[in-house]
Amino acid sequence: MRENAELLEELQETYACHYDLTIMVTDESGEAVTPIKGKNSLCNKLFAQKHENLMGKIKESLNDIRTISSPITHDLIPGIHMIVVPLEIPGGNKAFLWSGVFVEENGRQFVIEKLNQHVNEGVSWECVIDETPVLTSGNKKEWLNLVSKLAKIISLCFDREKASFDFNSFLLQQAVNNKTEGIIEKLVAHHHDHDFLGIAEKVDGEEYRVTHIAGEGAASLRGAPFFLGEGFLGRVLISGKAGYWEDIKRDPRSYFFHRFSLSPGALFCYPIKRYDGSLSLLFGGSLSNGEIPKGSLDLGKALANVLEMKLLTENLQKENSEQLNRLSSLVEICKLMASTPETKRILYILVDISLNLVEGPFSCVVLKDKDDEKAQIVARGDMTDQAKDYVKDVVNRYYRQSSKDTSDDSLPKENVTPWGGTVIECPLFNRGELLGVLCVGVEQLSAQQLKEHITFLHTLGIIGGISLHLAKVENEGTTSGQVETLHKAIGQFDEEAYMTARESGKLASEFALKLGLPAPIIKDIISACQLHFYTGSFLEQFFPDSRVPWIVEEGKMLIGKPLQEWEEANICSQVFAIVFMYERKRSIELFERGEAAIFQDFISFIKETHVMEQEISLSDDLEEPELTSFSDTIKEQANLSPREQEVLNLVIQGLNNREIAEELYISGHTVKNHVTKIFQKLDVPDRAHAISKVYQLKYAHS
């Protein structure tokens, strides 16, 4: 098409110079299709006018002559004519060839007067008119024939351009409506300079494989492997640039084709850039000739461009579909978490959804109260024996350094585990408070896949942080009400114990405040004092997620121990025990014999003196949740078969299809069929939605 445009310009230039004309082609609206060529002085000066210039006259006149079918002379300005010839251009549109200008035989003086009157810009119009071709009744037919011949030649150029246009349109149509295999088969069938065409795609690492092939005798190449840098094709992968080679039957680099009984004489290869930045290849060649015509090489390049566009479009469509699925998953997760504001359930949902989304080796949430010495981990998958070391590392980096939400701290980060695995760490913040860290192991991923996972996990982390905060608020509200109820119940059958509990709570509150303990810790100590009448095991039934039961249990044990053994006890239990020991005798003499710092602090507190700071170290204890079977929950609702129940349980635990097949001793194809049927029965599109649906059924049932 570029060559055609250059040819059109040369034709215009040649005719214009030879016959003292100015020539151009416009479309139906008067816009120039080709550049204005020629040195017709009158014409060029009229084109250059600011007001009522010749181009404006051409656009106006098209309203009258748009329907012409043969060459005409047209007076754009009284006494000044141009020859107009209609043309057909690609796409079924009409164009017009304009040549001129001419002055009428008997109108010379009239034209000069009009120009001096209306277009007086210091131009000697007499001289200009003398150089302008004259149109007479005798030469009019000759001029029309001359310009008509030029129009025919221009039409041929447009026809050539149209052929190229039509083939590109054919390729585009094939790319939209057909599979890749069909496109190259059609091209080989319609273009005999290509004896074979193929596409090679990346398999793994540096290995590539021929995935599509067309051409008689070329079927043996299907599935043929080669590596980066190997032969002609491998070198294009390294350079990233197209290659063309002639007379290569004896070239050692052709060995790849010789292995599969093909002996090309000429070969071309074009790289195709994929959406993720990797390369595929379009290659082809001639078996009978040692060279390929340039036009055929251009067709190969056009096909490579079309295939690149097709792959890009398919990837964008796939990405859009995945984004919609992920968005739908997030909506379902939001609904699910909002309907089940319980901390443990929210943690299980976060772990299960993230594990199945990323399909990595493990997922966990690391939790630690900033004033507690214990860390908790809720995990799925395989974290190896070094999990404790990893949890300590997470705590040191997120809880010890800073637990305040900043723009950088709240973003997911890629890290490496002690055993060498890759992990995405997503802090769960809400209103500046770090509530946990979601850690999801990942296996080999492209940069684009890793970016997509990080983006989704970031959103999931925001939802998780808000949900954990709401669960915490609701739990605290529920706990306060239950504490008050149990505390008042003591007064119904032991008024003295009730009063002791109330006074102990007040004293413990003041002492803990003097110690500088955080508000949540102080609140739990007060609750423990108010409920000291009950046993720890009894309180565990009402407050399974609270520290209150073990404060009561450990505090009572401390009361019976020698003061010298108090050092290793928890600060909450120490405050609890000291307060009740003091309430019994209302004396500080007992504490003067103890060496522990807290005793001296309590003495100072009673005497209204200073405050102490207590250092807390991280415990090695890890708490893992039980793996709950969901089979019974959905047995009736989803009507799953026993085998489908087994498969679903393993899906919930984060196993991929291959791992499920190994676990159940069945083929991967069978697993895929089971998973498809499970999705159909649950009416979900993917694993994330399936997990969400199972949780909904489970919690609705419970």
517 alpha carbon, distance to own chain's centre? 45
471, HSE (Cβ side, Cα atoms, 13 Å)? 20
Pick 374 or 427 by higher pLDDT: 427
Q: What is the rounded average pLDDT of the residues 657-671? A: 85
pLDDT band at 330 (very low <50, low <70, confident <90, very high): confident
Q: What is the CA radius of gyration of the chain?
A: 43
Q: Confidence band (pLDDT; 50, 70, 90) for 457?
A: confident
What's the pLDDT tens digit per position in 397-416? 888 765 554 556 678 999 99
- Flag whether pLDDT at 615 surpasses 50: no
Residue 115 scores a pLDDT above 90:
no
Q: What is the pLDDT of residue 609?
A: 38
Residue 613's pLDDT is what?
33
pLDDT at residue 251, rounded to an integer: 92
Q: Which two tokens stand for residue 424?
A: 């995405």
In a 3-state reduction of DSSP, which class is residue 290? coil
- pLDDT tens-place string over residues 131-146: 888 888 888 888 888 8
Q: For all residues of the chain together, what is the average pLDDT?
A: 80
Residue 1 clears pLDDT 50, i.e. is over it: no
User: Which residues are CB-neighbours of 589 under 8 A, at least 6 positions away?
Assistant: none
pLDDT band of residue 634 (cuts 50, 70, 90) is low
What is the pLDDT averaged over residues 72-87?
88
CA distance 691 to 651: 8
Q: Tokens 């043309």 appear where?
A: 87
pLDDT of the residue at 273:
87
Q: Residue for token digits 């000739």?
A: 289
> For residue 213, what pLDDT band results from cuts at 50, 70 and 90?
very high
The SS3 assignment for 285 reads strand
Q: With bands split at pLDDT 50, 70 and 90, how would you rate the model's confidence at 423? A: very high
pLDDT-based confidence at residue 524 (cuts at 50, 70, 90): confident
User: Does the predicted model carry a pTM greater than 0.75?
Assistant: no
Under the banding of pLDDT at 50, 70 and 90, the label for residue 679 is confident
Q: What per-residue confidence (pLDDT) applies to 263?
A: 92
Write out the two tokens for 207. 């290995």
Please, where are the H alpha helices in 88-137?
108-118, 125-130
Banded pLDDT at 533 (limits 50, 70, 90):
confident
Instruction: Count Cα neighbours of 454 within 13 Å in the Cβ-side half-sphere.
Output: 17
Instruction: Over range 455-475, report the average pLDDT.
Output: 79
d(CA 57, CA 51): 11
Kindly report, residue by residue over 352-368, the tens digit of the pLDDT: 888 888 888 899 999 88
Q: Which pLDDT score is estimated for 199?
A: 93
